[in-house]
Amino acid sequence: MPANRFNNFTDYGIGIGLRSTHYNHILTRKPVVDWFEIISENFMVDGGRPLHILDRILEQYRVVQHGVSMYFGSAERPNREHLRRLKDLVKRTKTPWVSDHLCWGSVDGRYTHDLLPMPYTFEAAKLTAQKVREVRDTLEVPVAVENVSSYAEFHVSEMSEWEFLNEVVERADCGILLDVNNIYVSSQNHSFDPLTYVNSVPTERVAQIHIAGHSKYRKYILDTHDHPVIDPVWRLYSRAIERVGHTATLLEWDDSIPSFKQVHDEALKANKFLSSAALARAV
């Protein structure tokens, strides 16, 4: 299933996150990269260097927007200024789809700038889905929601995380940005089988996949995006690709960022799994 309505019927391969430490390398060496993912908020400004760099990148590369503060799960209405700026950026980048997290992070107009976990309730699913629809209708591009890593669970939850994800995407009729590293991190923190999660995802809605590294502490795992992808996460990725088919895949590396080549090489390891899946389907 290489293309679907949630990634605007595109057929993107392996991309990496656009990070400022790599700007110079990218703009001078012009490496071959299928696509870059940008953090929308970094470019939702009026001018200056950020937009200048973005325009130069757009001259040569395909860009997909990924947000970190829409907070689909926050009980308050979407911030109009945020939406206006996001829409301006969508027009600039011509991103085929927009993604953000299935989480909350603001309340009463105060922002935590964190991806806080949702209580898995029907009330929360209904409200979140409404917000996803409102954002999609405003932006006029498909929206994909990403599962987050979490470190806490709530007494009020009425279902599992994957059931909640399914409830939201069905109600919103939106796509999924499946982060297999986040599934792994949460499975370790909350003691569930990550394969059960991957096997429960509605494959026809997966617009994109994220892979990343994390940091292990004594009693929990933190989603730090500062290491290579570990084998158990590659295995989850392999299973996801086996179910979903060739899907736009992006490596996130946000801290202790190594050279461009190292990041790109790590991302390209996904090719092995994409090829195997393609072969298996052909047979």
Partner 1 sequence: MSLLSLQRRMARAVMTPLTPGERMRRLAPDGRPMRRVAAEFIKPNDRLTSFERLEIYNRQYWFRLVSGFAEDFPGVRAVLGDRRFDSLSKAYLKACPSRSFTLRNLGSRLESWLRTHPRWAGARQKLVVDMARLEWADIEAFDAKAEPVLKPEDLAGVDPGCLRLSLQPYIQLLDLRYPVDDLLLAVREDVPEDSQDASNAFNERRKRTRVAAVARLKPAPIFLAVHRVEYSVYFRRLEPEEFAILRRLRQGKSLNRATDGSFRGSKVPLDRRTEKLAQWFHNWAALGWFCRPQKRIAKS
How far apart CA 92 and CA 16 sit, in angstroms, is 20
Amino acid found at 24: N
Cβ–Cβ under 8 Å, residues 210 and 146: yes
| 172 lies in the binding site for partner 1 (CB under 8 A) | no
Supply the minimum distance, in Å, between the C-beta of residue 42 and partner 1: 8
Residues ≥6 apart with Cβ < 8 Å to 46 = none
Give whichever of 10 and 187 is closer to partner 1, judged by the CB atom: 187
Task: State the Cα–Cα distance between residues 111 and 105, nearest whole angstrom.
Answer: 6
Based on the shown chain and the rule CB under 8 A, indicate whether residue 164 belongs to the binding site for partner 1: no
Q: Find, among 267, 214, 255, 210, the residue nearest to 20 by Cα.
A: 255
Say which residue the tokens 């001018």 belong to.
Answer: 47
Q: How far is the CB of 73 from partner 1 (least distance, A)?
A: 8
Using the rule CB under 8 A, is 99 a contact of partner 1? no
Q: Taking CB under 8 A as the criterion, which residues in 29-58 touch partner 1?
A: 41, 44-52
Cα–Cα distance, 92 to 260 (Å, whole number):
25
How many residues line the site for partner 1 (CB under 8 A)?
46
In angstroms, give the least distance from the CB of 153 to partner 1: 5
Are 209 and 250 in contact, with CB atoms under 8 Å apart? Answer: yes
Q: Does 215 bind partner 1 (CB under 8 A)?
A: no
Q: At a CB cut-off of 8 Å and minimum separation 6, what does 81 contact?
A: none
Instruction: Supply the minimum distance, in Å, between the C-beta of residue 189 and partner 1.
Output: 8
**For residue 234, what are the contacts with CB-CB under 8 A and spacing of at least 6?**
211, 269, 273
Q: Could you tell me the smallest distance in angstroms from the CB atom of residue 65 to partner 1?
A: 14
Beta-carbon contacts of residue 211 (< 8 Å; ≥ 6 apart): 179, 180, 181, 229, 233, 234, 237, 249, 250, 251, 252, 267, 270
Interface pick for partner 1 out of 4, 69, 186, 249 (rule CB under 8 A)? 69
Shortest distance, CB of residue 77 to partner 1, whole angstroms? 12
Query: Does 28 sit near partner 1 (CB under 8 A)?
Result: no
Closer residue to partner 1 in complex, CB, 116/229: 116
Give me the phi and psi of 27, to 5 degrees please: -75, -25
For residue 197, the minimal CB distance to partner 1 (Å) is: 17
Among 28, 59, 152, 279, binds partner 1 (CB under 8 A): 152
**Smaller CB separation from partner 1, 128 or 166:** 128
Q: Which residues bind partner 1 (CB under 8 A)?
A: 41, 44-52, 69-70, 73-75, 79, 81-82, 104, 106-114, 116, 119, 121, 123-124, 127, 151-156, 189-191, 219-220, 222
